[in-house]
Amino acid sequence: MNIVMFGPPGAGKGSVSAFLVGEFSYPHIAAGDIIREEARKPQNKVRAYMEKGELVPDTVIMQLVGSRLRQPDCREGFILDGFPRTIVQAEFLERQRIPVDIVINLEVDEDAIVDRLSGRRMDPKTGQIYNLNTMELPEGVDREKLVQRPDDKPEVIRKRIEVYKKQTSPVIEYYRERNVLLNIDGNPELGQVVGSVREALQKVRE
Ligand code: AMP
């Protein structure tokens, strides 16, 4: 089963994907991670877009994600997180005959998005994500050692939300028309959101 995780930045796509990986053992393919890896290469063309909070050009991301999805580990299914983010990208999947069986659309209020993104920090050693605004740090985690993603700064957050509204949200309608959309309230704490996703998926698979 091919699953797309959809929603605005900070909706919890990565966290819900981690749950789905445990449930299905499919690979988790996060477009943002692919772009961050690309951005580490010398003379890359993607870092400037990312740092401004803009989408990288469709052709670039389609090539990167397309070749990842053609790897053998994706044959049984995948959890695709952060792609498609434009209608052009959604059409690309269709053209490449990569079916999308379910789109989990996490709906989150704008205030909560800003709160979550501005508090988001990563442990550079483990890659674990924490949130200073919405959770207590577990014992042993040193707040001072956590780092903030450069695009989680307030002015870039605003830009990313604007980009989501303009370029990405039309994709919801695209998948609604194809009857694969599952809307999930992404506002509650993670455990509750995961519960709703599990329930909705069960209904679909019955
Ligand atoms: P994310 O970690 O999903 O928030 O993505 C980080 C950044 O990577 C985005 O702000 C974009 O600059 C870029 N990016 C990720 N996914 C896409 C996509 N599907 N299309 C274009 N740019 C993307």
Where does the pLDDT of residue 2 fall: very low under 50, low under 70, confident under 90, or very high at 90 and above?
very high
Q: Rounded to the nearest 5 degrees, what angle is found at the Cα of 180, between the Cα atoms of 178 and 186? A: 130
Q: Is the CB of 55 under 6 A from ligand 1?
A: yes
Q: State the Cα–Cα distance between residues 144 and 58, nearest whole angstrom.
A: 37
Q: What is the CATH number of the domain that holds 158?
A: 3.40.50.300
> Highest mean pLDDT range out of 123-127, 155-159, 161-165?
161-165
Q: Could you list the residue range(s) of the whole structural domain that residue 97 is in?
A: 2-172+180-205
Q: Provide the pLDDT for residue 134.
A: 83
**Does residue 45 carry a catalytic annotation?**
no
Burial of 99 (0-12, 13-18, 19+ CB in 10 A): exposed
Residue 46 in this model has a pLDDT that exceeds 90:
yes
Where does the pLDDT of residue 206 fall: very low under 50, low under 70, confident under 90, or very high at 90 and above?
confident
Q: Is the CB of 151 under 6 A from ligand 1?
A: yes
Residue 35 in this model has a pLDDT that exceeds 90:
yes
Total structural domains within the chain? 1
For 123, phi then psi, to 5°, come to -80, 115
Decide: 156 and 55 in contact? Cβ < 8 Å. no
Q: How far is the CA of 36 from the centre of ligand 1 (A)?
A: 9
Residue 205 in this model has a pLDDT that exceeds 90:
no
Q: Provide the pLDDT for residue 150.
A: 87
Where does the pLDDT of residue 54 fall: very low under 50, low under 70, confident under 90, or very high at 90 and above?
very high
Bridge partners (DSSP) of residue 80 are 4, 29
Q: How far is the CA of 140 from the centre of ligand 1 (A)?
A: 31
**Mean pLDDT throughout 78-82?**
97
**Mean pLDDT throughout 99-110?**
96
**Mean pLDDT throughout 25-41?**
95
Closest CA to 53 of 117, 122, 120: 117
DSSP E strand stretches across the chain: 2-6, 28-30, 78-81, 102-107, 120-122, 129-131, 181-185
Q: Is the CB of 13 under 6 A from ligand 1?
A: no
**Mean pLDDT throughout 106-122?**
93
Where does the pLDDT of residue 176 fall: very low under 50, low under 70, confident under 90, or very high at 90 and above?
very high
Where does the pLDDT of residue 39 fall: very low under 50, low under 70, confident under 90, or very high at 90 and above?
very high
Task: Tell me how crowded residue 163 is: count the other CB atoms within 10 A of its CB.
Answer: 19
Choosing from 52, 149, 153, 159, the catalytic residue is 149
Average pLDDT, the chain: 95
Q: Is the CB of 92 under 6 A from ligand 1?
A: no
pTM for this prediction:
0.93
